[in-house]
Structure formats: structure tokens, C-alpha cells
Structure 1
Amino acid sequence: MRTGALSRFTILDATRVRAGPTAVRVFADQGARVIKLEIPPGAPGGDDMIGGREHNRADYENLHRNKESLTLNMKAPEGLAILHALVRQADVFIENYRPDVKYRLGIGPDQLRAINPRLVYASISGFGQDGPYANWPGFDSIAQGMGGLMSVTGRPGEGPMRVGIPLADLCAGHFCAQGILAALLEREVSGEGQWVQTSLLESQIAMLDFQAAQWLIDRKVPQQHGNEHPLTVPTGVFKTADGYLNLAAIGNTMWRRLCEALDVPELAADPELGNDPQRCAQRERVNGAIGAAFLKRSTAEWTERLLAAGVPCGPIHSVDHVFTDPQVQHLGIAWPMRHPELGEVSVVGQPFRLSRNPRQAEPTPAPHQGDQTDAILRELGYDDARIAELRAAVVV
């Protein structure tokens, strides 16, 4: 029996690569039944994109846990009939094809909601469902560039820099999940589903946040500042006696506390460094002075000293050290999973928890392609003979 806050919902997952599976994973981790629709082996249009099992097993397991897999050729009339039967029982259908593809397949929002008016239909695209760029292929790095993120990432003068994670993909997925949840809540009032849309480009722009506001409100074009905050000094990465430390001494109160902890009271007393605009104007001087002080102690010593003084700071971990950090282990965001082939592994958990609806005790491994095809078809009333015929015809 399924448990979790969303266990009453059934999600049909027609997504691939990353943004769509990221959205679907929110529901799968909270107990929803997720049926992943995959192209049958031998059918035209098979998926050889990054994110498939053959490209990166760890990535695939992390993205597609807690799902069932049904192979289905939606280009075949019999396959479309199976999809329609699933839609009648589903709450959500989510896809991230190029905008025109769903209409050519006959599975657009109006077509599927005509079968089930309560269906919430969700679409993720690169650039939106219409407009001059609607049919451009959407990839994370392209959205990072067009959405402004690369122009404010990296050090001044070194050219645009991509962020080290697929941020546009991930944010589009999470924003899509938020939109689906909003539509499901609204359905409780109206009794009807609706079409939820987001795109990599919109999601990336939304994540610019205060950087976008600098332009929209103040008409200032944000620039690159490397590891430093563009509006307050000192922040960023400083070398210590044995490594590096991340500092966020934001505002005048933090500035005075920092100077005291670093034993450089003359900086706090300098009237030319009394506020953020003044310190920003003399960024190199400020960073040079406190940088010299940081070289006198280890990262651990400075972390303890600054935190005692109420100055936000912390070490900079490599990914392996992230998961050995005591606080990270206490939070339990690495979810243990028993895998029949890989053994005892962990996946990256969701960064929220519900007090009355804890997650399922252990995630289930990502399914092999078509693992649950026969079982799902039997639920829909197909007998073994008919399933064999559908397999022979490469419908499933």
C-alpha cells in the first residue's frame, strides 16, 4: 500500500532528460503512483539523450526512483488507446516534448482533457509553448546563457561562465511541480483540471531574483563579481593557513564584528569604510586587508572564532565531504536505497519534510524499461494473449 502525502494521485510521466523527471520526482517521493511512459525497444524515436540509463547509471537511479515503467508506442493506434485508458484514471499528465510534438502525436492538453476533464496537464519546454523561439531545442546551458545567469557568474573579465549544475533544468522542474500542486488544489474547488506550463528560460530568469531587479527597477546591468556579492563587501572566498573559508559579512554590524574577530579594529574605525557603498568602492583594499589576516589561522580556527562573534562563515566542501559533514548526516538528505544490482547505495533526497507524512521508509530503485508493462496492462483489462500480440507489434 502506498503511503505519503500524495499517495492518492496517479501521475503519467512522458518526460525525459532532466527538467521533467525532476518535477515528477517530487510526486514519486511523496507516495504518488508514477507511471513512466517509455518508447518500446525497436520502436522509432528511441531516446539516446543524456539522462538515459546507459549514459549515467547514478544519475538515472537518482532521477527515476519510486516509479513504474510502461513501454508504449503512442504513434500506434493501439498504443494511443492504452494511453487514453490510463488518462481516464490519472490525475496528472506531464510532458517535455518540443511544443509541436504533442499535437502531432494527438496527445495535446485539449485532446487528453476531453477524455478526463479533471486531468492536470503539465508541459515543460525550453522557451515557452508559443512565441518566436517556441520550437527551438531547449537545453540547460542555452537557458543559462539566454536567461542572464552566465553574464553574472564567474570573475570579471573572464567571459561568461556556466553554473556547475543544470540549474535551469532543475528550477523548471521544481516550478512545474509547484504549478501542478496549485492546479490540483484549485481542482478541489472547480472540479476541473487545467494546463500548467513553464519553461527553462522563464525559470532561469525567475532565479535571477535581485540581479534581475537591479535592471527592472534601477536600470543597472549586473556584472560578474566572482565569489563575491555584488552589493556588499566583504563576502566570498578567502584563503586561510590551510585552505579556504566562505565569508558573508553583510552590512555594517557584521563588518564591525568581523574586524574585531580578525584583530583589525583600525578597519572598522576607518570613516572611508563605514558602509557598504564605501566598501564596495574600495573592494580591493578591503579584501586585501582582511585576506592578509585570514592567512594567520586555519579554516577550522577561523570558523569557530567568527561564528562565536556572530559572523556567518563556513568551510568549502568537495562533494565527498558534503556527505560526511555532521550536520548533513543529521539532516539525512542522503536517502539509503537497496538496489538489486548496485547493492547498498544512496540517492539525493528532497530538501523538505512533512511532520505528519514522512517519506516512504526507503526509495525503490529506478525501474528497468518496461518492468511493469504487463502488470499495468492487466489492470486495464488486457489478457496475456492480447499483451503478447501488442508486444509482437511493438505497441508495448
Structure 2
Amino acid sequence: MGALDGVRVVDLTRYLSGPTLTMLLADLGADVVKVETLPNGDAARQSGPFTGGESVYYMASNRNKRSVALDLRSEAGAEALRRLIAEADVFVENFKPGTVEKMGVGAAAMRELNPRLVYVSLSGFGQRPPGSELAGFDQTAQAMSGLMSVTGTPETGPLRVGIAVADSATGVFGAVGVLSALYERERTGQGTVVEGSLMQSMLTLLSYQAQKYLSLGVTPGQDGNDHPIMFPQGTFRTGDSAMTLACGNEKMWQRLCSALGKQEWEQDPRFASNADRMANRAELRTLIEEVLSAKTTEEWLDSVGAAGVPCGPVLTIPEALEHPITAGLDMVADVDHSALGAMRVLGQSVNVGAADPDWLRRPAPMLGEHTEEVLTAAGYSADEIDLMVVGGHAAQWRRSGS
């Protein structure tokens, strides 16, 4: 039994930010019903790459959910959605601001229908002008938040982070908001509205880079793989590949000098303090890499790590997923997909209490895989469901040949 067992979530989200939020809740035991609009469902289903005709992008953020396929443009489909929301603890949507009101499921109407409802709206740039006028895409948020301006080097120019960090972070922050609202409901008996946006998430993650400007008026620049305020802390070439070093204080710097056989650097006025090392980091980088070139990454990891200096290899994604530490964290799990059969997926991002061997209850669902069982539980009779399916207001996925 998960920590959120008994919490009912209606998920009207698409792409990544909302599905990430609801997947986190589902992984912790919440019953998440993903309501998808016919005929194609979540637009992420059409985003490649594909395996066996199923979207890898979609499957990455929709496990542990049940899918209901409805024609939300029809009154019958819209009514079914409202009935689900009426019995839910949480409702999540990530449409462009104003869209859900046109669909008849805006916050005011749904909280009147269900006063205990925690109503969650995720957007790109907020629910009110001027941000509400913009569509929310991860790339745009990375650019407009300033994140791209501190990513890369002066030679590369601004770079996008290699993952959809704005979408994913908004899902994580949104989940924190949901849990806070559910806790508040225990005191007040009333639900509330939770709002999050890609822009808020990215500005929050800027952390000390933003504070440098707010406090000092300094415009942060691009430092590549180097830490923007500490050195040596970054990625360094070795004799065969690259490794990371992280000297977070003077003691670690002294340990690194000893591990590299360069104790004289401790007395070098160019490197006497972190400020000195930052001012002369190009020169210090060259000296460090000259030493590191004499051995392989694996050899340096042993000796530098033994000296008490944080360090690590620079791995590819396959290497990271197959790493013993990853296995020790149970970060790759096995599940049987309804159409694809056995497959591997990522493990849980956080553990609450004792390990739950049954946390991975189901794979990402096929479109409408659970329509009949969810509508039945909502009070629809078999005849009513059949009429909805025949009328094109709902759809039930069935395994080929059944």
C-alpha cells in the first residue's frame, strides 16, 4: 500500500509537465484516472520515438495510471468527466489558460461541484496576463527564464538543457503543491486551487544565479561544465576520457593537491583562495589536466576518491542505467505492457517508508484501456456504457483478438 492509497486523481493533462505530476502521485499509491480526448488521446502518443507502435515519450510519464477515452466535445463525454471530478480528491489540467473554462470544467465550477477538490492548473507563464497569453513549451521557458543564457560557453552561445527540465520540474513542484493542499484540507475540510508554471519552475531553479543579479546586479555568464562560483569544480580530461572533480572548500582543494602530487599549488598565490582560483581557472585547468593525462579515469577515480575529494566518471545514459549504483537504488524496474509485453522502465524517484514491492502496479495504459471499469465505478450501467461507445462518446481498448 502506497502513502497516497485512497487518493483519487482525475488527470486531464498532456505532454510532460502534468503527466509527470500525476505519475509521481500514482507511484506513491494514488488512483490516477487519465482522461483522454478522442480520437487520439494525449498528444504525446503521437510523439516519437516508437517501439512496437507505442510512443516511448508517452510511456515515460504515464505508468501506474488508468486511461479513460471520452469525446469531451460531446455532452455525454463532458458529463462523464464532470462525474469523475465530482468524486475526485485532485483534478489536474495543463491546457492554455482559459481552455478548461470553455470546456465547462474551470476551477470555480468544479470547486462548486466538489468543495473538497484540490484543483491544479499548470501553464507556461501563469494564469493571468501577460503570461496567460503565451503557450507553454519547455524550450520557450528555458529561453525566457534565462536558463539558456547560463548554459554552454561563450563559444557555443546559449544552449538548451538536454532534457525537458522546465516540464519535468513543473511536475515535481506541482506534486509538492498537491500534497500541501491535501494536508491543508485535513485542517480546513476544503479543497483549494494549486497553480504552477514552467516560468516559475525555471526561475526557482536558477537559485544563486538569480540571487547574484538580485543582490549584486551581476549578470551571470556561461561557464560550460565549470561551477560558476567554485573552482576546481567541473569536468576535466584524463588520459582516456573525462572525470568530474568537486572541490567545495579549502580542505578538499588541499586534498586534491596531495592526490595529484602537487602540494606546491597550495602555496601558489595564484591559487591561494577560491577567489584566486576562479580568477585563474583557465591556467589551473591546464595544469590539472596535464597531471590527469598521465592516467586513466578509472585510476584517478580510485586515488582521488580515496583522498576524500568528490569525483565521478562522465557516463552515457546506457552506462548510467547499467551502473551498480543505479541497480542498488532499484532505479530500473520491469513491467508487462498490455501491447508490448515485458519492458523496463525507470524506478521511483523517491521512497517513502519501507520499500513497497508492489509500487509498479501497471504500465502506461493504452488509449481507453480502462474506460469500462472506471465508468462502471462512477455509476454507469453496462447499457449506458455501450450506448456511449456505439455513439462515439467513449472508447474501450481491447487486446487484439479479444
Return the TM-score normalized by structure 1: 0.95
Q: Which residue of 2 aligns with 1:217?
A: 215
Alpha-carbon spacing, 1:22–1:62, altered in 2? closer, same or farther (3 Å) = same
Partner of 1:119: 117
Q: Distance in 2 between matches of 1:32 and 1:284?
A: 51
Q: Which residue does 2:321 correspond to in 1?
A: 323
Q: Is 243-252 or 12-21 further displaced after alignment?
A: 243-252
Paired residues of 1:31 and 1:359 also in contact (CA < 8 A):
no
Which of 36, 43, 47 pairs up with 1:49? 43
Equivalent residue of 1:364, what SS?
coil
Aligned to 1:298: 296
1:375–1:91 distance in 2 versus 1, CA, 3 Å? same
| Structure 1 position 216, deviation (Å) | 1.2
Distance 1:359 1:119 in 2: 30
Does the aligned pair in 2 maintain the 1:235–1:249 contact within 8 Å?
yes
Residue 64 of structure 1: SS of its match in structure 2? coil
Cα distance, 1:54–1:328 mapped onto 2, change above 3 Å: closer
8 A contact 2:15–2:42 mirrored in 1: no
Q: Which amino acid aligns with 1:164?
A: G
Q: Structure 2, unaligned stretches of length 5 or more?
A: 395-402
Distance in 1 between the 2:283 and 2:109 partners?
Answer: 64
Preserved CA contact (<8 Å) 1:4 1:357: no
Equivalent residue number for residue 95 of structure 2:
97
Residue 307 of structure 1: which of 305, 308, 323 is its match?
Answer: 305
Q: List per-residue Cα deviations over 1:62-110 (Å, max 9, x = no partner).
A: 2111111111222322222212221221100000000010111111011
Deviations 1:156-215 (CA, angstroms, capped at 9, x unpaired): 232110000100000000100100100000000000000000000110110111111111
Residue type at the aligned position of 2:348: Q
Q: Which amino acid aligns with 2:356?
A: P
Following the alignment from structure 2 to structure 1, what is the Cα–Cα distance between the partners of residues 319 and 109? 50
In 1, the alpha carbon distance for the partners of 2:192 and 2:128 equals 17
Letter in 2 for 1:106: G
Aligned residues with identical type, % of pairs: 38
- Residues 12 and 34 of structure 1 are in contact (CA less than 8 Å); yes or no, is this contact kept in structure 2? yes
Residues 55 and 239 (structure 1), Cα distance of their counterparts in 2 relative to 1, 3 Å cut: closer
Q: Distance in 2 between matches of 1:389 and 1:337?
A: 34
User: What amino acid sits opposite 2:131 in the alignment?
Assistant: Y
Check the 8 A contact 1:29/1:360 in 2, yes or no. no
Contact 2:49 2:56 in 1 (8 A): no
**2:236·2:245 contact (CA, 8 Å) conserved in 1?**
yes
TM-score (norm 2): 0.93
Cα distance in 2 between the residues matched to 1:368 and 1:166: 24
Matched, 1:154 2:152: yes
Q: Is the 8 A contact 2:260 2:291 kept in 1?
A: yes
Counting only pairs closer than 5 Å after superposition, residues 1-396 of structure 1 correspond to structure 2 as 3-41=1-39, 46=40, 49-50=43-44, 52=46, 56=50, 57-356=55-354, 358=356, 360-396=358-394
CA offset at residue 340 of structure 1?
A: 4.1
Is the Cα contact below 8 Å between 2:9 and 2:88 reproduced in 1? yes
**What is the CA deviation profile of residues 10-51 of structure 1, one whole-angstrom value per residue up to 9, with x for unaligned ones?**
00000000000000001111111111101122xxxx557345
Q: Secondary structure at the match of 1:337?
A: strand
Structure 1 CA distance, aligned partners of 2:331 and 2:49? 25
Deviation at 1:359, TM superposition (A): 5.6
Q: 2:338 touches 2:366 (CA, 8 Å); kept in 1?
A: no
Q: 1:357 to 1:331 in 2, by over 3 A?
A: closer
Change in Cα spacing, 1:358 to 1:167, as seen in structure 2 (3 Å) is same
After superposition, the C-alpha distances for 1:304-328 in whole angstroms (9 at most, x for unaligned) are: 1111111110001101111221111
- Separation of aligned partners in 2, 1:379 and 1:285: 68
Give CA-to-partner distance per residue, 1:368-393, whole Å, 9 cap, x none. 11111112222223223222221233
Separation in structure 2 between the aligned mates of residue 257 and residue 236 of structure 1, nearest angstrom:
16
Equivalent-residue separation in structure 1 for 2:305 and 2:67 (angstroms): 49
- Residue type at the aligned position of 2:28: Q
C-alpha distance in 1 between matches for 2:336 and 2:78: 35
Q: 1:367 to 1:340 in 2, by over 3 A?
A: closer
Deviation at 1:394, TM superposition (A): 2.1
**CA offsets, 1:210-246, max 9 Å, x none?**
1111111121111000000111111211111111111
Aligned residues: 390
SS in 2 for 1:390: helix
Structure 1 residues 51 and 245, CA, compared in 2 at 3 Å: closer, same or farther?
A: farther
